[in-house]
Amino acid sequence: MKVVLLQDVKAQGKKNQIVEVSEGYARNFLFPKKLAVIADAKAINDVKNKEDSKNHKLALERADAKALSEKISACNVKITADAGNDGRFYGAVTAKDISEALKSQFGIDVDKRKIVLDAPIKAFGTYKLDVKVYTEISAKLTVMVTEK
């Protein structure tokens, strides 16, 4: 008997999978515990619609991430920092500082954990950083650190 699983069932399959089980197992275990329903046309159609909806949502998220990636790549973030007489910073420029500068200068909100920074920036100059926008989608961000 073919059934559509409503939840993960050990040794049978994952949620929304169509599996072949014995009639006794389905009638005595899966149906009473509401773990599965008979795989009729309506149930199969529901599973396909859910999967299509999920794929559409993922495609929209990827498109938004690509657009954000292009927008970030076009930005040149300028950060000013204090330095002593020898040109060394009093502190350092961190991912949090870069995230805040990106939000204030361009209105783009990026989580500081998504900015890849090997070590805090402790010298003046121009830096190219990676920003992980989405799975397998990243952007190159240019950061210019200047003296106040």
Judgement on whether residues 108 and 143 belong to the same structural domain of the protein: yes
Tokens of 39: 């795989």
Strand 137-147 versus strand 76-81 pairing type:
parallel
* Whole-number pLDDT of residue 147: 84
pTM for this entry: 0.71
Question: Residues 74-130: pLDDT tens digits?
Answer: 989 999 988 877 777 778 889 999 999 999 999 999 999 999 998 888 888 899 999
Query: What does the alpha-carbon distance between residue 139 and residue 137 come to, in Å, rounded to a whole number?
Result: 7
Q: Please report, for the domain that includes residue 46, its CATH number.
A: 3.40.5.10
Q: Same domain for 59 and 77? A: no
> Is 67 a residue whose pLDDT tops 90?
yes
Q: What is the pLDDT of residue 120?
A: 87
Per-residue exposure over 42-72, b if at least 16 CB sit within 10 Å of its own CB, e if not: ebeeebeeeeeeeeeeeeeeeeebeebbeeb
The pLDDT of residue 20 is: 95
Backbone angles phi, psi at 92, to 5 degrees: -150, 160
Number of domains in the chain: 2
Phi, psi of 138 (to 5 degrees): -135, 160
User: Length of the chain, please?
Assistant: 148
Give how far Cα 139 sits from Cα of 34, 112, 147, Å.
46, 14, 26
Residues 70 and 142 in one domain: yes
Averaged over 20-26, what is the pLDDT? 95
Please tell me whether residues 58 and 81 are part of one structural domain. Answer: no
* Same domain for 142 and 99: yes
Task: Verify that 14 and 79 share a domain, yes or no.
Answer: no
Whether residues 86 and 37 fall in one domain: no
Say if residue 57 is in the same domain as residue 108.
Answer: no
* CATH code at position 112: 3.10.430.100
Q: Which domain holds residue 53?
A: 2-64
Q: Do 133 and 74 fall within a single domain? A: yes
